[in-house]
């Protein structure tokens, strides 16, 4: 009898350690459940600077709003309209008024054909999922809830059947939307405080889904594969020269209908800012990226070590 009770206690403790003992647990404690990839994996990409448009500052740090080719950038005391369809010199208009108020669902992300499911993060470090009641559409019931390893100041992002969110522990997490089970996490080395952005568009003959992330302190942008969290592109401010440490991305990026990415960048002088327009391109393979072929009589292992030496020179 005592042996049976002891086994039950050990089983319960093991379940709690694996993340199954409560509905409010660290998502990193769940075993990784790799999803099934149903679309092609995105190729390695580069983010090319297409335009760098000066705009009056200082930037307010609010979210960009895109309407066709027009981008609304919040600034102190109003906002700036940038028309990317106009010629150089007539594309920037400053408006001395508060930006139009956008609808707010209390931070909830609604999904489904009838908007019957919703998700939300709470700043202190929690992500929640709710489902609309069957008989009373105004009533929401908890589906699942998880405590996160750090604070989550930005709302979650829904990509397909996955929920993604950034955390102050420097990681981006992907959970199954149905039950909250962890699929992957990616450590970016800096805390995530801006919302993640979903990019969907064509590259070559195929279309891809990507996730855009701006880690603190806002000097770079990372592009992740939502399937497994792998980095497929990154862009550093001042890329090609010494990094411009005085420049700062002050908000999450936005995407244009043609697939270009826009970033609000505050310069060192408060009255100076730019709207950076980036274009994703498939990375061209360099000649020295091809696998080294062994010379006649060479040992394949030695040929591989030679390839490694060549790349590190």
In terms of C-beta density within 10 A (0-12 exposed, 13-18 middle, 19 or more buried), how is residue 200 classed? exposed
User: Given a cut of 70, is residue 1 above it in pLDDT?
Assistant: no
Give which of 149, 193, 154 is closest to 169, Cα–Cα.
149
**CATH number, residue 75:** 2.40.128.630
Q: In the structure encoding, which two tokens stand for residue 42, read together? A: 């995105």
Q: Is residue 39 part of a domain?
A: no
Tell me if 175 sits within 8 A of 183, measured CB to CB.
yes
Q: How many other C-beta atoms can be found within 10 angstroms of the C-beta atom of residue 112?
A: 11
pLDDT computed for residue 226 by the predictor: 95
pLDDT computed for residue 236 by the predictor: 93
Reduced to 3 states (helix: H, G, I; strand: E, B; else coil), residue 108 is coil
Mean pLDDT in residue range 106-114: 83
Q: Is residue 19 part of a domain?
A: no
Q: Is residue 301 part of a domain?
A: no
What is the percentage of the chain residues whose pLDDT exceeds 90?
A: 57
Confidence of residue 52 (pLDDT cuts 50, 70, 90): very high
pLDDT computed for residue 29 by the predictor: 54
Tell me if 79 sits within 8 A of 73, measured CB to CB.
yes
Q: How many domains does the chain have?
A: 1
Q: Is residue 269 part of a domain?
A: yes
* DSSP letter string, 48-90: EEEEEEEEES-B-----EEETTEEEEEETTEEEEEETTSPTTS
Phi, psi dihedral angles at 75 (to 5 degrees)? -130, 165
Q: Is residue 310 part of a domain?
A: no
Q: Is residue 62 part of a domain?
A: yes
What is the percentage of the chain residues whose pLDDT exceeds 70?
A: 74
Residue-wise pLDDT tens digits, 205-248: 889 999 999 999 999 999 999 999 999 999 999 765 555 567 99
Which residues constitute the domain of residue 135? Answer: 44-100+111-286
Strands (DSSP E) found in 177-229: 182-187, 197-203, 206-213, 220-224
Task: Indicate the Cα dihedral angle 165, 166, 171, 176, nearest 10°.
Answer: 0
User: Given a cut of 80, is residue 11 above it in pLDDT?
Assistant: no
Q: Is residue 302 part of a domain?
A: no
Q: Is residue 274 part of a domain?
A: yes
């Amino acid at each position: 009898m005592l042996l049976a009770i002891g086994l039950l206690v050990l089983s319960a403790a093991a379940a709690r350690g694996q993340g199954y003992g409560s509905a409010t647990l660290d998502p990193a404690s769940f075993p990784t459940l790799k999803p099934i990839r149903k679309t092609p994996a995105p190729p390695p990409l580069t983010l090319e600077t297409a335009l760098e448009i000066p705009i009056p500052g200082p930037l307010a740090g609010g979210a960009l709003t895109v309407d066709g080719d027009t981008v609304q950038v919040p600034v102190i005391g109003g906002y700036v309209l940038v028309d990317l369809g106009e010629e150089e010199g007539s594309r920037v208009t400053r408006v001395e008024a508060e930006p139009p108020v956008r609808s707010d669902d209390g931070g909830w992300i609604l999904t489904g054909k009838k908007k019957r499911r919703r998700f939300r993060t709470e700043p202190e470090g929690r992500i929640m999922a709710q489902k609309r009641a069957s008989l009373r559409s105004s009533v929401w019931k908890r589906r699942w809830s998880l405590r996160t390893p750090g604070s989550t100041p930005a709302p979650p992002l829904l990509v397909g059947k996955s929920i993604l969110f950034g955390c102050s522990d420097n990681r981006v997490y992907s959970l199954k939307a149905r039950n909250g089970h962890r699929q992957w996490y990616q450590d970016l080395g800096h805390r995530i405080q801006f919302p993640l952005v979903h990019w969907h568009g064509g590259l070559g003959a195929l279309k891809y889904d990507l996730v855009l992330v701006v880690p603190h302190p806002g000097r770079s942008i990372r592009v992740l594969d939502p399937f497994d969290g792998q980095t497929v592109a990154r862009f550093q401010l001042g890329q090609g020269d010494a990094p411009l440490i005085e420049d700062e991305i002050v908000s999450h990026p936005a995407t244009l209908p043609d697939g270009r990415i826009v970033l609000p960048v505050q310069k060192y002088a408060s009255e100076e800012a730019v709207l950076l327009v980036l274009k994703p391109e498939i990375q061209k393979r360099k000649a020295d990226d091809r696998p080294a072929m062994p010379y006649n009589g060479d040992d394949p292992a030695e040929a591989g070590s030679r390839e490694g030496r060549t790349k590190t020179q």
